[in-house]
Amino acid sequence: MYKKNRVAIVTGGSSGIGQAICVTLAKSGFNVVVTGTNPLRIEETLQLLEQFLHTASAHIGRKTDVTNEKEVRSLVEITYNRFERIDLLVASAGIGKSAGSKRVLPYSAATLPLCEWKAVLDVNLTGVYLTNRAVLPIMKAQKSGQIINIGSSTTPHGLKGTPYAPAYCASKFALAGFTQALAAEVEGDGIRVQTVFPGPVETPLVDNTLLAKPFGGIVRSDNFSNAVMALIEYPMDSTVIDPHILPMRGKG
């Protein structure tokens, strides 16, 4: 069923960067599995994808908490049972603060509550680990697949600690190391694993923080999703190591 089209799971696909990536993938003929924690936003994304339904293609949504191992496993099982393959995972789910926090960033390290620290690392790091791990058995059996983990260029000069964003920076630095380790482990299985590091992209997360100010501009979400698509289509005998997608100063 649906074997003519590649199959992609996009976590955090119900808004922001993830939603833009879902649209770009659908335009390119992928069957897209949209995940998020808000069913209404998932449905909004699916409505956007309806205009890009191709022959033998389908798009589905699944409410999934990426920090919940059981829900992640269920997401992967449902996807495989429906499409009989998984070609791509884009791990885009990410937060700058917990859903329950009423405070707008930034947080200093001295005032950051432990619950906020844990919430950010749970989604941005453990959530990526759980989703990456869950798709690997299927991709190994296929002897093919791609994983793209969405990192963050925390400064205009790459991965450098940003004042007042200790948990966010820690999660994205650790994500880089995790992805590099996993990529080295599975490249012999025909699986390519990469991290993409965007600067500030037009998303609700950036709109509600001060993190974009040092960059002097902002990356359009469709431009970023097109850059991700270029990496997906890059020949599988090569890889692009830790690309950073940054705005031209004053052009955002």
Active site residues: 168
CA 81 vs CA 6, 74, 75, 134, 175: distances in Å: 14, 10, 10, 14, 29
Contact of 173 with 127, CB cutoff 8 Å:
no
Q: CA torsion angle for 6, 12, 17, 22 (degrees, to 10)?
A: 30
- For the chain, the straight-line distance linking the first and the last C-alpha, in angstroms and rounded, comes to 42
* Alpha-carbon span 193 to 81, nearest angstrom: 23
CA 162 vs CA 99, 185, 190, 248: distances in Å: 22, 30, 36, 20
DSSP state of 62: E
CB atoms within 10 A of CB 161: 12
Separation of CA 156 from chain center: 20
Nearest by Cα to 8 from 143, 146, 125: 146
* Alpha-carbon span 213 to 231, nearest angstrom: 27
Separation of CA 145 from chain center: 16
